[in-house]
């Protein structure tokens, strides 16, 4: 008698991870393959997803983080276990600190071996290592829980204050097979992952009352305001109130930098003299001297209004007179609605004093930029870049370095939101190539990365990645032969160079040429202008080695006060 057999359709962890991400609108993964996630990357590509492979996991993580910032969807970084995970963890921690939604997915060793410390391949307790540096961290042990694990990671990354999330996938999980229909039913499509959080009416009224009582009000915009994509509402708040505003570096372009109410050119004055400051998506951290001290005109009394989605941020450094808690779009819309025809305008004397200082500082900057020293310095080189970028506001600008960052921030104006991407809250180096690749892949737009030579060194090998994917990225390396400058000497007269000095006359442009891109050497502003125009016109991977006077630059840029020096040196 014949026996009838039934074949059950199966799926596995590899397919379920791919299906869960695709179900939730994820189309790109940044990462670096190896054991145990190589087949996951292959399957992702085979199923129509885009996989951007890097030379180092930290830069893949930075690309994923900036993609999250630009799209409000979590960028995905995929790494191998242990050392690969640790490389990605640096980017995850930076994403959490900067409130960029990102998910780091790493393969890992088997739990039973890790817990007994039996010496597995790349054995490491990655979940507990990630927890202090992530907004949330999860481990999935069973294939039927992959859908829930991905859903929880997505919601954690984008809801409330965004941040980095770690998702641990042990190797055994990826190969687990389950019934295909059961697998399909286990997937979760996240509904409203970042719901609006409406501010309380009494909080809005209180903030408006504080603002009405101000004689010298100031609106301070942070990158949280840029992330919110509430551009029209923020512009309405500024223009309807008539209050001068000051953007933090990644908030530049929310309103054009040449807007009449911009107080950027009078930054020190407005911070010290304002009597009421409204923070919108900005934190009173070290970048704002914690809201204390001479920067803020101490002991001049000052009142703060703070618009933020996280109530725990309120009173973190100084007392906040009027907290407004909710998503920035909803909060700003409520504030705009409360600014009626009778709302008091800022004092004319206050506006006049700001305008006077802006004009004075702008004239001083124009005089500096008009100089044409040989060799180039930071100002003359940045003037050339500024003039090329000015008629092209849609270009993304990535910026890092010490002096390169400081000067570019004040010289190159932004006219569109979320077009300036830089070192952010930690002020770290090494974000350059990851951010440039992430911005280019996400938007398809031209990217110009303005890099100090030291900063470029952290991620320079990713020029191969830029060439491999033929991305429209132009890198300008400000080459002054060292960290800060190239003039330091070894005090012993020994054969080793000073700690801050690089190879003299290095040709970074030839690195790009080695991988098939375009390399240019520029020793004058005219050469830099021509090379940058050519790069933008071609849309091809390009690196311009901009030769800067090696004596140009100061120790630690504008934050030299944070760099302790020996008492003997000070004497």
DSSP per-residue letters across 446-462: -EEEEEEHHHHHHHGGG
The predicted structure's pLDDT at residue 558: 74
| Cβ–Cβ < 8 Å for 392, 445 | no
pLDDT, mean over the chain: 95
Q: How far is CA 129 from CA 92, 113, 125, 432, 434, in A?
A: 12, 17, 6, 26, 23
The share of the chain scoring above pLDDT 90, in percent, equals 91
pLDDT at residue 507 greater than cutoff 80: yes
Kindly calculate the radius of gyration of the chain based on its CA atoms and give it in whole angstroms: 26
Q: How far is CA 276 from CA 317, 324, 336, in A?
A: 16, 15, 17
The pLDDT confidence band at residue 562, using thresholds 50, 70 and 90, is confident
pLDDT at residue 268 greater than cutoff 50: yes
Distance CA 82, CA 109 (A): 8
Please tell me what DSSP assigns to residue 506: -
Residues facing 430 on adjacent strands: none
The closest of 532, 291, 287 to 405, measured between CA atoms, is: 287
The pLDDT confidence band at residue 465, using thresholds 50, 70 and 90, is very high
Distance CA 14, CA 46 (A): 12
Q: Which residues have C-beta within 8 Å of that of residue 301, sequence separation ≥ 6?
A: 275
| Cβ–Cβ < 8 Å for 58, 430 | yes
Cis omega (within 30 of 0) on the bond before 89? no
pLDDT at residue 204 greater than cutoff 90: yes
The predicted structure's pLDDT at residue 8: 85
Structure token pair of residue 136: 């949330």
For residue 191, the SS3 value is coil
Distance CA 365, CA 411 (A): 8
Report pLDDT digits (tens) over 285-298. 999 999 999 999 98
The predicted structure's pLDDT at residue 561: 73
Distance CA 440, CA 469 (A): 10
The pLDDT confidence band at residue 569, using thresholds 50, 70 and 90, is low
Q: Which residues have C-beta within 8 Å of that of residue 465, sequence separation ≥ 6?
A: 52, 53, 54, 55, 59, 433, 437
The predicted structure's pLDDT at residue 20: 98
pTM to 2 decimal places: 0.96
Q: Which residues have C-beta within 8 Å of that of residue 501, sequence separation ≥ 6?
A: 481, 482, 483, 486, 487, 488, 489
Arithmetic mean of pLDDT, 2-21: 85
The predicted structure's pLDDT at residue 489: 95
End-to-end CA distance of the chain: 102
pLDDT at residue 1 greater than cutoff 50: no
Arithmetic mean of pLDDT, 46-59: 98
- Alpha helices by DSSP H, 47-160: 57-71, 83-98, 111-115, 126-130, 146-158
The closest of 58, 64, 100 to 223, measured between CA atoms, is: 100
Distance CA 354, CA 272 (A): 12
Report pLDDT digits (tens) over 335-387. 999 998 889 999 999 999 999 999 999 999 999 999 999 999 999 999 999 99
For residue 378, the SS3 value is helix
Q: Is 283 left (phi over 0), alpha (psi -120 to 50) or beta?
A: beta
| Cβ–Cβ < 8 Å for 21, 67 | no
The predicted structure's pLDDT at residue 566: 61
Report pLDDT digits (tens) over 207-241. 999 999 999 999 999 999 999 999 999 999 999 99
pLDDT: which is higher, 342 or 16: 16
pLDDT at residue 567 greater than cutoff 80: no
| Cβ–Cβ < 8 Å for 239, 266 | no
| Cβ–Cβ < 8 Å for 380, 523 | no
The predicted structure's pLDDT at residue 116: 87
Arithmetic mean of pLDDT, 169-185: 96
The predicted structure's pLDDT at residue 557: 76
Structure token pair of residue 94: 């930076």
The predicted structure's pLDDT at residue 531: 98
Distance CA 238, CA 232 (A): 10
Residue 558 burial by Cβ neighbours in a 10 Å radius (0-12, 13-18, 19+): middle
Distance CA 425, CA 65 (A): 14
pLDDT at residue 564 greater than cutoff 90: no
The predicted structure's pLDDT at residue 4: 52
pLDDT: which is higher, 517 or 560: 517
Distance CA 305, CA 219 (A): 9
């Amino acid at each position: 008698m014949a026996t009838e057999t039934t074949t059950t359709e199966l799926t596995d962890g590899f397919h379920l991870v791919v299906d869960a991400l695709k179900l939730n609108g994820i189309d790109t993964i940044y990462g670096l393959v190896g054991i145990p996630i190589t087949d996951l990357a292959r399957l992702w590509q085979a199923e129509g997803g885009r996989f951007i492979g890097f030379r180092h996991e930290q830069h893949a993580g930075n690309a994923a983080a900036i993609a999250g910032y630009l799209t409000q969807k979590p960028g995905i970084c995929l790494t191998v276990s242990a050392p690969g995970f640790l490389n990605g963890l640096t980017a995850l921690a930076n994403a959490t600190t900067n409130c960029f939604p990102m998910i780091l997915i790493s393969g890992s060793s088997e739990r039973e071996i890790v817990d007994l410390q039996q010496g597995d391949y790349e054995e490491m307790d990655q979940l507990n290592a990630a927890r202090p540096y992530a907004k949330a961290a999860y481990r999935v042990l069973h294939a039927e829980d992959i859908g829930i694990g991905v859903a929880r990671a997505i919601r954690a990354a984008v809801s409330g204050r965004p941040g980095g999330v770690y998702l641990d996938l042990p190797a055994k999980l990826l190969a687990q097979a389950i019934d295909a229909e059961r697998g399909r039913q286990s997937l979760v499509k996240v509904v409203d992952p970042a719901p609006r959080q409406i501010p309380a009416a009494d909080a809005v009224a209180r903030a408006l009352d504080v603002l009405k009582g101000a004689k010298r009000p100031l609106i301070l915009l942070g990158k949280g305001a840029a992330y919110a994509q509430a551009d029209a509402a923020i512009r309405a708040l500024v223009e309807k109130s008539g209050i001068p505003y000051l953007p933090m570096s990644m908030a530049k372009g929310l309103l054009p930098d040449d807007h009449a109410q911009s107080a950027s050119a009078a930054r020190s004055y407005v911070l010290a003299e304002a009597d009421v400051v409204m923070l919108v998506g900005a934190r009173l951290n070290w970048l704002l001297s914690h809201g204390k001290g001479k920067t803020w005109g101490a002991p001049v009394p000052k009142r703060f209004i703070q618009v933020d989605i996280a109530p725990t941020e309120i009173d973190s450094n100084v007392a906040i007179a009027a907290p407004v808690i909710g998503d920035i779009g909803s909060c700003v819309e409520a504030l705009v609605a409360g600014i009626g025809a009778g709302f008091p305008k800022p004092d004319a004397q206050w506006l006049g004093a700001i305008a006077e200082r802006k004009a004075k500082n702008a004239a001083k900057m124009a005089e500096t930029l008009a100089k044409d020293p040989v060799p180039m310095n930071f100002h003359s080189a940045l003037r050339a870049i500024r003039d090329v970028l000015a008629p092209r506001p849609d270009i993304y600008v990535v910026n890092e370095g010490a002096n390169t960052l400081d000067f570019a921030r004040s010289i190159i104006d932004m006219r569109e939101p979320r077009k300036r991407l830089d070192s952010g809250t930690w002020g770290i180096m090494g974000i350059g190539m990851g951010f440039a690749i992430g911005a280019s892949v996400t938007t398809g737009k031209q990217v110009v990365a303005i890099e100090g030579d030291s900063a470029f060194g952290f991620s320079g090998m990713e020029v191969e990645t830029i060439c491999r994917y033929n991305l429209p990225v132009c890198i300008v390396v400000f080459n002054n032969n060292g960290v800060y400058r190239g003039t330091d000497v070894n005090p012993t007269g020994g054969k080793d160079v000073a700690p801050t000095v690089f190879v003299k006359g290095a040709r970074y442009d030839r690195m790009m040429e080695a991988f098939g891109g375009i390399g240019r050497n520029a020793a004058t502003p005219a050469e830099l202008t021509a090379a940058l125009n050519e790069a933008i016109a071609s849309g091809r991977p390009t690196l311009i080695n901009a030769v800067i006077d090696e004596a140009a630059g100061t120790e630690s840029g504008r934050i030299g006060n944070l760099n302790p020096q020996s008492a003997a040196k000070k004497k």
